[in-house]
Structure 1
Amino acid sequence: MTYADAIEVDERHNENDNCYNPFTVQVHDVKVLNPIEPTEKATLYLSNIDLLLVQPIDTFFVYAPNEERDTESLFAVLEEAFLKLLVPYHFMAGRIEESEEGRLQLKCNRAGAGFVTASSPQTLADIGDLRVMNPDFRKLMPAPKGVQGVMNDEFLLRVQVTRFRCGGFTVGFRMNHAMCDGVSTTLLFRSFCALARGEALTTFPDPDRTILAPREPPTPEFPHSECFKLSELPSVIAHKTPALGPEYTTKHIPLSQIEIETLKAITMADGNITKCSSFEAVIAHFWRSRTRCLDFAPEEISNILIAVDFRTRIQPPIPPTFCGNSIISAHVSAPAGEILQEPLSFCVDKIQQAVARINERYVRSAIDWLQIHKGLPAVRTTKDCLVSAWWKIPFYEHDYGWGKPVHSGPPFPGTSEYVLIVTDPAEDGGLLLLVTLLPHEMVKFNKYFKDISSGSNSGT
């Protein structure tokens, strides 16, 4: 069976789709690389938005065998491209450290970025449907390095290239989220691919984050319910997000383009709102479905945070080459009883109001608020969640010279409070929601979420 055959196996409605095919990976070489040319040693400012996100984030790409080009030169080509990439991205070979004042900053000190090569005796077809979360995907990612919790001993960027027996391969990235958001990361991936294809770079990253510095003095204008004050949290919670226990289950829940259009039509049918995007309809339906499956009391408040890119929402707009974080969370909340009883347009309206608040004044206020209070995203309980939409990030365009990827996304879940929406490579115009819940909650969520017609009905 070829990989193409395997990926076409439709396990979408299989309740046992957490069953996975194990595989083995042998690591060959672990290197610490530095820019191939001399680079400036400097200390760069990290914005208050960056400081909300000082944590690793993992992404991997899967490439099917290319009948016209073998992978004999794969490791050498990508290592050479990585060395060249680290010239404009020299700060990614630096370290985060504490200043004398106790604030985290980015030290461009050429401490190095990681590059790992590995192989598997299996084929990609042996793994099967990549939409099924597989614990062995961890083997495709570079292992953590350094002393946990010691910032100046941790890589900001590591890459692992893993070659499979069939000629397919994966490229796994582990980077510190404080370095870049989705848009910035896309530029890095594109640059890496261009260099691997032998092309010269025409666009270069700008890591200057002073455009997002707080005002002096800081003058927050609004309450910021999307964040907790750091002082209000126990230190163990403030500095460490607990890992998922074995009792949780993670699934990719699909939504076809037809289902998305149906949701939008249902939302608009009652005339309560004048417009509705795919983004708003999907998140509204997700919010309602999750609220139903978690058995909220009618008066209990259901909260979600939605990651919003504010690059074009402030003046002057953030340059397209900006390498940093320009995202802030829109806080959406309502009593569970209203979410379940009102039409879906009610949820969409709440989402639209929350996202519309993210403007110049609100962003500047949030930056000032964080300067005073510090803080973390306000996920209050396991019933709250943060939704991040990756489906418009062009991950499926990244070609190192062996063709475009057949799969991309996070290799494993983060926490039950984090929900990711990505493109479904097997469904044109379709989406996948990466959701983590307890098994009995997952059964209910899958039932409610796939019942698109429930969007037009009230009641539980």
Structure 2
Amino acid sequence: MADGKSNANEQNLFKMNVRRSPPIIVHPAGDIKAGGTYFLSNLDQNLPVIMKTIYCFPATDRRAVDKVVGEILRTSLEKVLVHFYPFDGRLAVNDEKKLVVRLNGGGVPFVEATADCELELLGDVSIPQPEKLGMLVYCPQRESIFEMPLLMVQVTKFKCGGFIVGMAMSHSLADGLSTVEFLHAWAETARGLPISLSPFLDRSILTARCPPKPQFPNPAFADLSGSLSSVAASPFPSLPILHRSFSFDPAKLSRLKLLATDAGDDRPLPSTFAALAGLVWRSRTIALNTPSADPAKLLFAVDGRKKLKPPLPGGFFGNGINFACCLCPAGEIIDRPLAHTVRMVQSAIWEVSDESIRSTIDYYEVTRAMPSLAGTLVLTDWTRLGFGATDFGWGCAAQTGPAELPGMEVALFLPPAKGAKTGTTVVLGLSPPAMSTFQEIMDF
């Protein structure tokens, strides 16, 4: 049996009650640019979703928790927002029909809360548990994205003395690396230290060329909905989604890389990401019973900061990622060896360049197209971002993870699960029948 961990049984054996205080609206504690708008690049336009993450800090004797954690985190947040002032605004649409940040001083909601249990009882938080972990992130519903705060923070204290920082952030403001750099700057401020990496806020360096010159095909934007059979368009429509995590220790990763290599191939073994991406895409396609003639698409973010010419400045705050894409008939990845799928992933990575990123920026300028998720798997790799290195003064986070996944189309690669020091954890959601098949494939 594969080693997948589920959120359906052992993760829900206890009930947790969380009591929230009314939110305090936090503003930058200093002079900032007020009024007008803040420019968002074309790489920011396709990501107006809210990402919800949690950071777990066990009880420690390094600093008292009960009375000061909320005050320290709130006052340090006020200070660090001076450097990250766009979070104080709200999304809006300009005359060019593009997203910008309206610098209206809307502020950042900050909530203190208490839980009636021990932090340890949460178990492994790498598995999304929206009903439970959602209580640890303050993110009230709004009628539109233009009313939604761009950053929301909740600090929840547990009976044991540990606490969790829950954060909801607009992806239009920051990709994974920028989110981590913001967290580290906030943590340094909480410890009374100067910020070691100041944010570079001028996103106009990613402005489209004039005139725009899109010169590469953009399969990421291909809408496959009209080409999918009814089975692929709505697999298991009435069944619930089961989230499960799969741990890949170094030994299993080594086996996977050998499986992902053709016999007699003298090229270097594939990277961990390429091997896992090929495995997950192929296995999920099989598990969903995707007809061979249906198109299958894989999207994954590639950091373009160093691929651009010149590279983006250190501390660039925004989305510096470009979506690499694999697109083919499902039968091409189902009927051929895993090595073929992995080579497709490798080729997509190699194709991300200064020219292709500039072409994507210009393509949006001309078309205003959004990536389509029909028939698509979106992979997000958080293994090297360093979320867990955040230290507000009580030591680094013992665990971090998503409070929820945006949908069944998304899978995450995370650092090792609780209790492990090396390896990679894969998290995704599928219907129970598809998950059963997926888990069988993972057993190798």
Structure 1 pair 13–57 and aligned structure 2 pair: CA distance change class (3 A): closer
Q: Secondary structure at the match of 2:138?
A: coil
Within-5 A mapping of 1:267-306? 267-268=260-261, 270-272=263-265, 274-275=267-268, 276-306=270-300
What is the CA distance between 1:437 and its match in structure 2?
A: 0.6
User: Once the two structures are superposed, what CA deviation does each residue of 1:229-278 show, in whole Å capped at 9, x if it has no partner?
Assistant: 8xx99xxxxxxxxxx98711111222212111111123335234613111
The answer on whether the counterparts of 1:250 and 1:413 sit within 8 Å (CA) in structure 2 is no
**1:123 paired residue among 107, 115, 118:** 118
Compute the displacement of 1:65 (Å). 0.9
Select between 88-97 and 122-131 the one with higher mean Cα deviation. 122-131
Q: Structure 2 residue aligned with 1:169, among 163, 168, 172?
A: 163
Distance 2:168 2:331 in 1: 41
Output one character per residue of 1:172-210: Cα deviation in whole Å (capped at 9) or x when no partner.
Answer: 111111101111111100011111111111321122111
Once the two structures are superposed, the pairs formed by residues 372-391 of structure 1 within 5 Å of their partners are 372-381=366-375, 384-391=376-383
Q: Which residue number in structure 2 is paired with residue 247 of structure 1?
A: 240
Structure 1 counterpart of 2:249, from 253, 256, 264: 256
The alignment's C-alpha RMSD in Å is: 2.3
Task: Give the structure, 1 or 2, with the largest relative contact order (CA under 8 Å, sep 6 or more).
Answer: 2
Residue by residue, what CA displacement relative to the aligned partner does 1:295-346 show, whole Å, maximum 9, x if unpaired?
Answer: 1233333221111111111100011211010112111133333323333221
Q: Deviations over 1:45-94 (max 9, x none)?
A: 11111010112111110111113433031111111111111110111111
Change (3 A) 1:174 1:245: farther
Which amino acid letter does the alignment assign opposite residue 71 of structure 1? V
Matched, 1:313 2:304: no
**Which residue among 103, 106, 109 is the counterpart of 1:111?**
106
Equivalent-residue separation in structure 1 for 2:92 and 2:109 (angstroms): 18
Aligned to 1:141, which of 121, 137, 140? 137
1:81-129 deviation digits (Å, cap 9, x = unpaired) = 1111111011111111122343321222322111111111211123333
Task: Using the TM superposition, give the Cα deviation of residue 228 of structure 1 relative to its aligned residue in structure 2, in angstroms.
Answer: 4.5
Q: Tell whether the 8 Å contact from 1:66 to 1:168 is kept in structure 2 after alignment.
A: yes
Give TM-score, length-normalised by structure 1.
Answer: 0.87
Contact persistence 1:272–1:345 (CA under 8 A)? no
Q: Quote the Cα distance in structure 1 between the aligned partners of 2:4 and 2:175.
A: 32
Instruction: Compare 306-315 and 91-100 and name the one that shifted more.
Output: 91-100
Contact 1:301–1:335 (CA under 8 A) maintained in structure 2: yes
Equivalent residue runs for 1:22-61 within 5 Å: 22-41=15-34, 42-61=36-55
| Paired letter, 2:94 | S
AA at the equivalent of 2:88: A
Matched, 1:75 2:70: yes
* Aligned-residue offset at 1:20: 4.5
1:398–1:404 CA contact under 8 A, matched in 2: yes
Question: Counterparts of 1:29 and 1:198 in 2: how far apart (Å)?
Answer: 27
Q: Are 1:21 and 2:14 counterparts?
A: yes
- Is residue 392 of structure 2 the alignment partner of residue 397 of structure 1? no
* TM-aligned CA distance change 1:315 to 1:138, over 3 Å: same
Alpha-carbon distance, 1:378 to partner: 2.5
Letter in 2 for 1:397: A
Q: Contact 1:11–1:17 (CA<8 Å) still a contact in 2?
A: no
Aligned 8 A contact 1:206 1:323 in 2? yes
Conserved in 1, the CA contact under 8 Å of 2:245 and 2:425? yes
SS at match of 2:406: coil
1:355 equivalent in structure 2: 349
Measured after TM superposition, the shift of residue 22 of structure 1 is: 2.2
Cα gap change, 1:400/1:218 in structure 2, threshold over 3 Å: closer, same or farther?
Answer: same
Q: Match of 1:353, as an amino acid? A: S
TM value normalised by structure 2: 0.90
SS of equivalent residue, structure 2 residue 172: helix
Residue matched to 2:188: 194
Contact 1:159 1:171 in 2 (8 A): yes
Structure 2 Cα separation of the partners of residues 269 and 150 of structure 1: 47
Q: Pick the aligned partner of 1:329 from 316, 323, 327.
A: 323
Identity score, percent: 28
AA of the residue aligned to 1:38: D
Quick one: which of 201, 204, 228 aligns to 1:207? 201
Provide closer, same or farther for how the CA distance between residues 13 and 40 of structure 1 changes in structure 2, counting only shifts above 3 A.
Answer: closer
Letter in 1 for 2:346: Q
Greater Cα shift, 75-84 or 250-259:
250-259
**Which amino acid letter does the alignment assign opposite residue 138 of structure 1?**
G
Report the Cα distance in structure 2 between the residues aligned to 1:209 and 1:154, rounded to whole angstroms: 22
Aligned-partner Cα distance in 1 for 2:341–2:51: 30
Deviations 1:116-165 (A, max 9, x none): 111112111233333444321111001326x42151x3211111100001
Which region of structure 1 is more displaced relative to structure 2, 136-145 or 435-444? Answer: 136-145
* Code of the aligned partner of 2:259: I
Count of aligned residue pairs for this structure pair:
427
Of residues 41-50 and 441-450 in structure 1, the stretch that sits farther from structure 2 once superposed is 41-50
2 CA distance for matches of 1:172 and 1:446?
Answer: 30
Q: Is the partner of 1:226 in helix, strand or coil?
A: helix
- Alpha-carbon displacement from aligned partner over 1:350-379 (angstroms, at most 9, x marks no partner): 111111111111111111111111122222
Residue type of the partner of 1:415? G
2:4, 2:352 → 1: CA distance? 39
CA distance in 1 between counterparts of 2:6 and 2:78 reads 44
User: In the alignment, which residue of structure 2 is the partner of 1:90?
Assistant: 85
Whole-angstrom CA distance in 2 between matches of 1:212 and 1:128: 42
Q: C-alpha separation between the residues in 1 aligned to 2:300 and 2:13? A: 30
